Homo-oligomer: A and B are copies of this chain.
């Protein structure tokens, strides 16, 4: 994986889905290229927003191959690879390395709840040992509202001690800024990414790495604006405008809302019409409310 540490604005890229619910590989590659063209520092593909856990491992391996074949630079990628089953996490992590990813974002095994830190340690340890590749850079994925399996600071400390060259950082999607800031303080050099651009500026100021965000699929211009102007006198106002957009979007179910925004912006309704169940397309009523709220923020998607 790359020597330069991932920093900046990473997009938890959407995965376009065909009417038969198969991933639309060509549209996925085109979307990823467009995000990089818009200034994204990188792509956290196959995460929650990418509907990764609604795709089989084979489908996900194909999507990573398609990015490589499509010329998306591997060093821009932070693919999601964490599954409930260790062999699945190992297979996806190996493929991420094969396509030259800068790192991987690794959910803990998320079916069993109330597991001990010993158990979660053993799961990460098994994956790292079985992948057995010194290029591996692991970013934890802390998203207690979705996984119901939080990543404790003690677990981070133990794994950092055991694998200082491998454990690289975390995506914190808890929405708890204090947790992000505490990790910035407690673990110097550990790459803390806010899971939302709402927290981009405070996390950067605390020495964090940036953000990995779902809504950045459509707010990428505003995210890049805040990141590149983090030292500017008016950056607080830029962050505030960006936060307004984020909050307007997250008032709806994120994946269908983001796909609906992409459909409007690109005019390609067909490419963005489908989500894999249990997610469902946005209702017309929700879409109308979303666009009313979003347009009130001055939001404009370059497409």
Give the chain B neighbours of A88 by CB distance below 8 A. 56
| Interface set, chain A 105-159, CB cutoff 8 A to B | 108-113, 115-116, 118-120, 122-123, 125-126, 145-149
Copies of this chain per assembly: 2
* A278 in contact (CB, < 8 A): yes
* A270 in contact (CB, < 8 A): no
Give the chain B neighbours of A86 by CB distance below 8 A. 21, 54, 276-277
Q: How far is the CA of A88 from the CA of B53 in the complex (A)?
A: 11
Q: How far is the CA of A50 from the CA of B174 in the complex (A)?
A: 31
Give the chain B neighbours of A149 by CB distance below 8 A. 278
Give the chain B neighbours of A147 by CB distance below 8 A. 111
| Interface set, chain A 211-242, CB cutoff 8 A to B | none
Give the chain B neighbours of A57 by CB distance below 8 A. 56-57
Q: Is B85 within 8 A of A280, CB to CB?
A: no
Encoded as 1 (CB less than 8 Å from any B CB) or 0, chain A from 1 to 45 comes to 000000000000000000001000000000000000000000000
Encoded as 1 (CB less than 8 Å from any B CB) or 0, chain A from 277 to 303 comes to 111100000000000000000000000
A54 nearest CB across to chain B (Å): 5
Show 29 residue pairs from A and B whose CB-CB distance is below 8 angstroms, ordered by the A residue. A21-B86, A48-B111, A48-B112, A53-B84, A53-B109, A53-B112, A54-B84, A54-B112, A59-B87, A85-B276, A86-B276, A86-B277, A108-B278, A111-B146, A111-B147, A113-B145, A113-B146, A113-B148, A115-B278, A115-B280, A116-B278, A118-B280, A119-B277, A119-B278, A120-B277, A122-B280, A125-B277, A126-B277, A149-B278
